[in-house]
Structure 1
Amino acid sequence: MDLEYSSEFIDSYLDAEYAERLASRTEFDEVLDERRRTSESFFHSTPGFPMFSVIGRRPGYSAEELAEYAQTVGQIARRVLFIVAEFEHPEWGHLFAGYVSGASITTTGVYDSKLFVKEIKGRPKIIAQYASEILKPAPPVQWIHVMGENIADVSGPLAVKALCEPTFKAHRLDWAATCTSAG
């Protein structure tokens, strides 16, 4: 795996996640379930460290309920991939982290999540998700473990692929610092 392949993998996941998010507001359960299976296929879960989709709604929406819920589709957006960084971790070895935005039209310019990707059995998989800590000042952005493996003690990045700059000032400063700290 390299930065380019990791970026493409994370972008593919963000596409699948967006399709699931749209389906949660517009499609009957069968289609939503298929979209969820697709997005969850990007995850690597273990018994102690599960990974799963957090997108959903209660089962059994009627056509009328879906039509009403579909009116909120304009509030969601495909998440933005800002940067992918390559790391060497003492326990996990070679890792990549994708820094991604929020999923609403008002949060596509800010860090929301950091997704750690590791090659598992010859295939890339998302093994951990972290969320940006909004109650602590940035930069640097503080990250909280959400699900999957707990990737502690990541040193500075070995390499970085900068894709899109966040619009939120504190995150933009953190983005710039990450871009220049590689190597």
Structure 2
Amino acid sequence: MTTIEDAVIFFNAYLDIEHEGNVATYSASDEMVNELRTRSMKFWHASPGTILSPSFGRPMGMHPDQLENLARSVNLARRTLFLVAEYRGPDGNSIYAAFTSGDRARTVQSYGGLLHAAEVKGELKIIASYKEDFDRVSPPVHWRHSQGAEIALPGTPVAVQPLEAPTGQAAHQEDWEGLRDSVTGD
């Protein structure tokens, strides 16, 4: 049975692979980018009829000069894992929500994504990805479905593991504090 601590380890391992893939996109061979995409996909599970894929990649066969030009235009950062919350799904099983930053130096202190994971055949897998809905005023932060299953998180989390507060936007920090304080006794 997965615990919230296991979910934190899982999400951090995924964010490590994702960052390695983002860096490779701008510097490594096509083979290496494909290898990292394959490794990344082991963290994901797409329900029938849904699409899920890693957030990194590039057209194959790019000339090294093109990659060098691309690399100069980007300032990558490993996404920050701000908080993991555990919710009880309608079937009684746990759904874990990972609140993450963006993957650029300018967005690493603000919310940039929300990943949902659940046990699939005894293994934790990412089943959905959300982005902040900038058309709606925060707080609370509103999320827009990006890919995977559409998840409606039920009410208050049953457990929360706060890791690092977002400092880029006051609304994100207020939302993070509300989630952190939503479970008594933790």
Instruction: Identify the residue that residue 60 of structure 1 maps to in structure 2.
Output: 61
| Equivalent runs, 1:1-183 vs 2, <5 Å | 1-72=2-73, 75-91=75-91, 93-167=93-167, 168-183=169-184
Q: Given the superposition, is the C-alpha separation of residues 176 and 31 from structure 1 closer, same or farther in structure 2, using an over 3 Å criterion?
A: same
- Deviations 1:96-135, CA, capped at 9 Å, x for gaps: 1100000000001111111111011111100111111122
Q: Which moved further from structure 2: 168-177 or 50-59?
A: 50-59
Contact 2:166 2:172 in 1 (8 A): yes
**1:181 alignment partner, SS class:** coil
TM-score in terms of structure 2 length: 0.93
What fraction of aligned residue pairs are identical, expressed as a percent?
35
Q: Which moved further from structure 2: 135-144 or 146-155?
A: 146-155
Q: What is the alpha-carbon root mean square deviation over aligned residues?
A: 1.3
Question: Unaligned regions of 5+ residues in structure 2, if any?
Answer: none
Contact 1:101 1:108 in 2 (8 A): yes
**2:105 alignment partner, SS class:** coil
- Deviations 1:26-78, CA, capped at 9 Å, x for gaps: 012111100111111100012312211232221111122223323345x1100
**2:127 alignment partner, SS class:** strand
Q: Which moved further from structure 2: 152-161 or 78-87?
A: 152-161
- Deviations 1:123-157, CA, capped at 9 Å, x for gaps: 11001111111221111001111111111242211
Q: Given the superposition, is the C-alpha separation of residues 83 and 153 from structure 1 closer, same or farther in structure 2, using an over 3 Å criterion?
A: closer
Letter in 1 for 2:172: H
Contact 2:166 2:173 in 1 (8 A): yes
- Deviations 1:76-107, CA, capped at 9 Å, x for gaps: 10000000001001147211110000000000
TM-score in terms of structure 1 length: 0.94
